[in-house]
Structure formats: structure tokens, C-alpha cells
Amino acid sequence: MDIRPHFDLNVQDWRAMAVLDFLGVTPLHTLAKRAGVQKSQMSRTVSALEEKGFVEREINPEDKRSIHLRLTPRGQGVVREVLQASRERNRQMLSELTDGERGELMRLMEKVTIGSLAHLRRLKGEESQGRRPPPPATIFETEMG
């Protein structure tokens, strides 16, 4: 499913919503950092999502000068729908693979992810701390969970 015509979202919108869904209530600078974009770009994206009713701002109860962001119930519903459509598309694409082949694909993808993250840390000049990525989300799940 292409999310643009169905949900009126572009890639930046979806990235912001997916990261916000993962993080929960969070400040703009954290959302921007975790999404890998500049704060000014994320600010524009959040404003557009707010106009569509997908995101709302709230005053940080611990620091009244700062704002936290959260998905609205409508935004949460869109995230669920997009993820459900994505899982269905993945199931269709991988339907010719056996269970063993799907398991091997996931193991190989995890290895590529580990190597990619190590390469990124080297590019940033960070020491490799032997950290492993979080376990990959299963692309075969049938329910949100």
C-alpha cells in the first residue's frame, strides 16, 4: 500500500509518526534526533501533521517552557493501519519462502543491520561498544503486540 494517497502522508510525515509512536510523548528535539533529521525540518513536519490532526502538542509538566509531542488517537489509528498494511504486503512478498527460509532471511538481515550500525559508528568516530541492535521487529506478525 502506498501511504501517500490513502493517508495523505509523505515519507517525512510517516517517519515522524512512526518514531513518535515508538517513543510516546517526547520533545521535538528528541523526535528529530531519533528520526535522523534537523530540528527545523521536524518542526515543519510536526506542524503539518498537527494541521491534519495526527499530532498534538502539550506543555511539558516538568518544564512549562518546553513542549512535548504525542500522536492523537487519529494519528495512532493511522499508524496501526499503515503497519497492518505493511505486514500484509510483507506476507504477500514472502509467501513463496518456507518457514526456514524466512528465519534465515531474518538472521541475515540482522547481520546486515549489525554491520551497518558498526559502520555508522565508525563514520561518526564512536567506539564500538559491542552493542547489538534491538531484536528486529518480526515482519511476519499478525497482530499488533
pLDDT at residue 130 in the model: 55
pLDDT at residue 1 in the model: 52
For 122-140, write each residue's pLDDT tens digit: 887 776 555 555 555 544 4
**Cα 27 to Cα 105: distance, rounded to the nearest angstrom:** 36
Contact 21, 77 (CB under 8 A): no
Start-to-end C-alpha separation, the chain: 21
User: What integer is the mean pLDDT of 77-90?
Assistant: 91
For 26-67, write each residue's pLDDT tens digit: 999 999 999 889 999 999 999 999 999 999 999 888 888 888
Looking up cell 559491542 gives 130
pTM over 0.75: no
Q: Which domains does the chain have, with CATH numbers?
A: 3-80 (1.10.10.10), 99-145 (no CATH)
pLDDT at residue 140 in the model: 46
Confidence grade of residue 112 (pLDDT, cut at 50, 70, 90): very high
pLDDT at residue 60 in the model: 82
Partners of 28 in the β-ladder: none
pLDDT at residue 44 in the model: 96
Partners of 27 in the β-ladder: 68
**Cα 49 to Cα 52: distance, rounded to the nearest angstrom:** 5
**Cα 145 to Cα 10: distance, rounded to the nearest angstrom:** 25
Task: Write out the DSSP string of 83-119.
Answer: HHHHHHHHHHHTTTS-HHHHHHHHHHHHHHHHHHHHH
